[in-house]
Amino acid sequence: MRALRRSPTVVTLALILTVFACQQVAGLLGWRGLFALSNPLLARPWTLVTSVYAHAGVSHLVANALALALGGLVVERLTTGARFHAFFVGVGALAGATQVAVVGLVGPLVPGVPAQVSVLGASGAVLGLYGYLLGANRLTERFVAGVELAPWVQLTLGAALAAVITLLTANPGAALVAHFTGLLVGFLAGRAHLLAPGENTQKRQPTVD
């Protein structure tokens, strides 16, 4: 039980459930938009964080919670609790802000695209975890180690892979830009081993006599 209480994945799941309960209370008071991220982004700056943990409904919450449990329990073994939480909320906020900003720019120019959206959900952050695993796993390391790729080529390949996964996992109403952003940022962070504690990073560096 003590190990579960210390698990950043379990703590994040508890935060998601707590925020969802607060959403229900806020809904009864007529404050339904209190947790959602929308334009202008700085009008309600707290929503950069609350939108990562808030969800539109029970099915939305359950889907993201299951994905978080599967990916989070693996990622947390590679890092510290503080790094896990900072990465999760940072990637989630960036993914949500990118979704809102892109729709705000494209919406007025493309027929059928809304000029403004409100973003809720942990999917961008969760996909960031999976992107990290994709970028930092041993198979990727072996492939990259055997092929000399310029940084811009790796970025292009990462973006292409993130786009393919985003399209394959797309569903009606999904924030595709946020999903793509989470995957790409997670992949790049994985390539840089951003979540690895310093002592592990030092162990991976080759020694020269």
Domain CATH for 117: 1.20.1540.10
- Cβ within 8 Å of residue 12, ≥6 positions away: 53, 68, 72, 84, 85, 88, 122
- 209 belongs to a structural domain: no
- pLDDT for 153 equals 74
Q: pLDDT tens-digit profile of 2-48? A: 566 689 999 999 999 999 999 999 999 888 789 999 988 888 999 99
Mean pLDDT value across the chain: 85
- pLDDT for 112 equals 67
- 16 belongs to a structural domain: yes
For residue 205, pLDDT beyond 50: no
- 62 belongs to a structural domain: yes
- Among 40, 11, 30, 19, smallest CA distance to 100 is for 40
- 147 belongs to a structural domain: yes
- Among 17, 48, 51, smallest CA distance to 120 is for 51
**How many domains does the chain divide into?**
1
- 50 belongs to a structural domain: yes
- 168 belongs to a structural domain: yes
- 17 belongs to a structural domain: yes
